Amino acid sequence: MKQYDNVMIFDHPLIRHKIAILRDERTSMKEFRELVEEITMLMTFECLKDGVPTTEIEVKTPLEVCKQQVVKDDSIVIVPILRAGLGMVNGVHRMFPSAKVGHIGMYRDETTFQPQSYYCKLPCGIEDKFVVVVDPMLATGGSACDAIQLLKDKGCKNIRFMAIIGAPEGVSKVAETHPDVNVYVSTLDRGLNENCYILPGLGDAGDRLFGTK
């Protein structure tokens, strides 16, 4: 895959270890959910490194008063792409519990593989926030691109996208369609099969998170 300035692929033994268990078809729904949350926490650490609005406060230690930088209240919004993106929300919340949550519903048409939007509910004032869009699977990239475009149409200017597993096709599509959006992918897989599922992937993330198959 081409290199993109706005794409970060994680190369970390802890994340690789957790992804190996996540992929395994024998991994239970409970463990799958926990792993998605843990991997998201690790990714959030990097995703929130730059660009998060901060402010200075005074803190009184037992010895003296000092000035400290903290993340500004009400500055971060998490936007999961339903359904599977829901599995990543707690991972971001564990790192920044007061983040608000907006929801975008998308499903892929089974024959065309094109994303179909069916729901959107976003916090008021989202256009001025640091927005983190989450979805564990970045396959063709259609769902991510449309969700990001929807947020831009609402006025959002500061958008990040996090996926756990990416196919080269999807990563390239998002990186090129939205060069102003930083894309964080914990691992890059080989490609897509004839049904646009990621190989080796982990199967259907929504079904594995929610036990629907």
Which residues are known to be catalytic? 108, 112, 204, 207
List phi, psi (to 5°) of 182.
-80, 130
Identify the residue among 38, 107, 123, 177 touching ligand PRP (CB under 6 A). Answer: 107
Question: Which residue lies nearer to ligand PRP by CB, 7 or 84?
Answer: 84
Residue 95 interacts with ligand PRP (CB under 6 A): yes or no? no
CA 46 to chain centroid: 12
What would the x/- binding string for ligand PRP be over residues 156 to 195, using CB under 6 A? --------------x-------------------------
> Rounded to 10 degrees, what is the CA torsion of 77, 103, 19, 181?
-50
Looking at the Cβ atoms of 14 and 109, the one nearer to ligand PRP is 109
Rounded to whole angstroms, how far apart are CA atoms 131 and 117?
Answer: 19
Question: Least distance (Å) from ligand PRP to the CB of residue 154?
Answer: 19
Residue carrying structure tokens 């929504």: 206
Contacts of 118 (CB under 8 A, 6+ apart): 105, 106, 107
Least distance (Å) from ligand URA to the CB of residue 145?
14
